[in-house]
């Protein structure tokens, strides 16, 4: 179990940033129907999880600040034998308090929440904070209700986003562990690669190996793409035949991530099926460019740098290479390069795989990034990316995953 001090510290920093005479309401969320008699696997709101560590539906966290005094109350469903018979057992309040780092007196029956909500909304001296980034319905409904009464709800994500952007040691260690699990799963999957293997087989092996290592809720939909399917960047529906079968001389693009203690890894690897036919094998040529881009990217990332600056450097290196291959003119523009460099080089990483944070903000020590330079050349029928995770440090950046991009690890067979 994660040390509850992590969540206590997060709540304390959040509450310290709240103005006086406020109440912040955070909801774990509700289960979503998949069909008439079945729900999707529940996944809690990220800001709620960041402040509590709880992963069950129907919970509400209320943080109040009055005259400098702060109180945190957690409302949760109480035991109900009939509902538990059909929907699974509910957590004891003592267990809830232990995970979140609350006293048992601060965990209350969910049935008492509506009265508390009514009290807060009717008190015009209290400023209500809701989460504008939540995908849950309840914050949106409450916002409409408050605005209908001529008031304005404040946005608590303006507080949680800066907090979440700077990672604690616990989060850094969790991302490293998630990356380790991911790479171990990829290594096990790699043993199956040969001409004739399907995306479907590799996909199942990846997810099995991540789940086996205690990662049941993955960071995002696993991607396994053979050959031309790599041109579909989010090819998350693995095929059993046709284009989904690995062939001698093709490539296999992998993009997947485990999740540990709520934190995500995001790792991409490419594998060459069969030995290259000399240095002029187009797979080898493109790998050389991707290796150069990765080295430059990790050398560029540091406090004060930006995503835009990183992309600009990647476009310059890629443009010169593409021009050298006769694919674009020597006097190329960024638009010429973007015909082959399709996606951004990097994004924030944390409790979401594309984590919170403005893309125009300068990097700070404590940011975690996924870095994925990729080039896709339809004329060659080849395109791929290699992605690793890193921490921005005071003097540059530090890899949180292995950074493996050598031919020895990429060429299979």
Structural tokens at position 250: 């093709």
Cα–Cα dist 353/76, whole Å: 28
Q: Where are the domains of the chain?
A: 5-164, 169-412
Topology alike, domains 5-164 and 169-412: no
Report the chain's C-alpha Rg in angstroms: 24
Those residues with Cβ within 8 angstroms of residue 158's Cβ, 6 or more apart along the chain or in another chain: none
Listed residue (313, 315, 260, 294) closest to 404, CA to CA: 294
Q: Are 344 and 39 in contact (CB under 8 A)?
A: no
| Residue recorded with tokens 């008031």 | 151
CATH code for the part of the protein at 169-412: 3.90.230.10
Phi–psi pair at 194, nearest 5 degrees: -170, 165
Distances in Å between the Cα of 7 and the Cα atoms of 54, 79, 288, 352 are 10, 24, 44, 17
Is the sign of the CA dihedral 181, 196, 405, 383 positive or negative?
Answer: negative
pLDDT tens track, the chain, 413 positions: 799 999 999 999 999 999 999 999 999 999 888 998 888 889 999 999 999 999 999 999 999 999 999 999 999 999 989 888 888 899 999 999 999 999 999 999 999 999 999 999 999 999 999 999 998 889 999 999 999 888 999 999 999 999 999 999 999 999 999 999 999 999 999 999 999 999 999 999 999 999 999 998 999 999 999 999 999 999 999 999 999 999 999 999 999 999 999 999 999 999 999 999 877 899 999 999 999 999 999 999 999 999 999 999 999 999 999 999 999 999 999 999 999 999 999 999 999 999 999 999 999 999 999 999 999 999 999 999 999 999 999 999 999 999 999 999 999 97
Structural tokens at position 251: 């490539």
Cα–Cα dist 332/320, whole Å: 8
Phi–psi pair at 258, nearest 5 degrees: -80, 170
State the distance between the two ends of the chain, measured CA to CA, in whole angstroms: 42
CATH code for the part of the protein at 5-164: 3.40.350.10
**Tens digit of pLDDT for each residue in 174-228?**
999 999 999 999 999 999 999 999 999 999 999 999 999 999 899 999 999 999 9
Cα–Cα dist 100/105, whole Å: 13
Structural tokens at position 31: 């289960």
Residues found in the chain:
413
Those residues with Cβ within 8 angstroms of residue 289's Cβ, 6 or more apart along the chain or in another chain: 317, 318, 321, 375
Distances in Å between the Cα of 410 and the Cα atoms of 281, 295, 297, 388 are 14, 17, 20, 15
What pTM was estimated for this model as a whole?
0.96
**Tens digit of pLDDT for each residue in 292-323?**
999 999 999 999 999 999 999 999 999 999 99
């Amino acid at each position: 179990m994660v040390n509850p001090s992590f969540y206590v510290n997060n709540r304390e920093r959040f509450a310290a940033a709240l103005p006086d005479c406020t109440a912040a309401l955070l909801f774990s969320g509700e289960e979503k129907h998949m069909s008439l008699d079945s729900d999707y696997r529940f996944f809690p709101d990220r800001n709620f999880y960041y402040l509590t560590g709880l992963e069950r539906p129907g919970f509400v966290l209320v943080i109040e600040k009055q005259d400098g005094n702060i109180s945190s109350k957690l409302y949760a469903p109480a035991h109900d034998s009939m509902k538990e018979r059909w929907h699974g057992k509910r957590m004891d309040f003592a267990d809830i308090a232990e995970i979140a780092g609350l006293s048992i007196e601060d965990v209350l029956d969910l049935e008492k929440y509506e009265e508390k909500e009514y009290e807060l909304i009717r008190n015009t001296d209290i400023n209500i904070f809701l989460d504008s980034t939540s995908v849950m319905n309840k914050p949106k409904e409450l916002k409409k209700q408050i605005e209908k009464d001529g008031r304005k709800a404040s946005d608590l994500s303006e507080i949680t986003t800066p907090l979440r952007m700077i990672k604690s040691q616990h989060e850094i260690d969790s991302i490293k562990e998630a990356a380790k699990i991911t790479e171990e799963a990829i290594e096990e999957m790699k043993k199956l690669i040969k001409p004739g293997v399907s995306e479907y087989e590799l996909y199942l092996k990846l997810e099995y190996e991540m789940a086996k290592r205690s990662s049941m809720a993955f960071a995002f939909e696993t991607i396994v793409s053979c050959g031309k399917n790599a041109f579909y960047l989010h090819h998350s529906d693995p095929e059993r035949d046709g284009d989904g079968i690995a062939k001698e001389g093709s490539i296999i693009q992998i993009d997947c991530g485990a999740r540990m203690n709520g934190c995500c890894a995001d790792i991409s690897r490419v594998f060459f099926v069969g030995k290259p036919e000399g240095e002029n094998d187009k797979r080898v040529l493109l790998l050389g460019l991707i290796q150069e881009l990765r080295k430059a990217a990790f050398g560029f990332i540091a406090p004060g740098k930006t995503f835009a600056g990183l992309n600009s450097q990647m476009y310059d290196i890629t443009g010169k290479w593409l021009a050298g291959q006769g694919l674009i003119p020597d006097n190329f523009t960024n638009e010429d390069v973007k015909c082959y460099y399709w996606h951004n080089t990097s994004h924030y990483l944390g409790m979401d795989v594309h984590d919170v944070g403005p893309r125009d903000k300068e990097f700070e020590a404590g940011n975690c990034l996924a870095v994925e330079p990729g080039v896709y050349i339809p004329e060659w029928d080849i395109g791929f990316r290699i992605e690793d995770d890193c921490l921005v440090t005071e003097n540059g950046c530090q890899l949180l995953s292995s950074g493996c991009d050598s031919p020895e690890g990429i060429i299979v067979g």
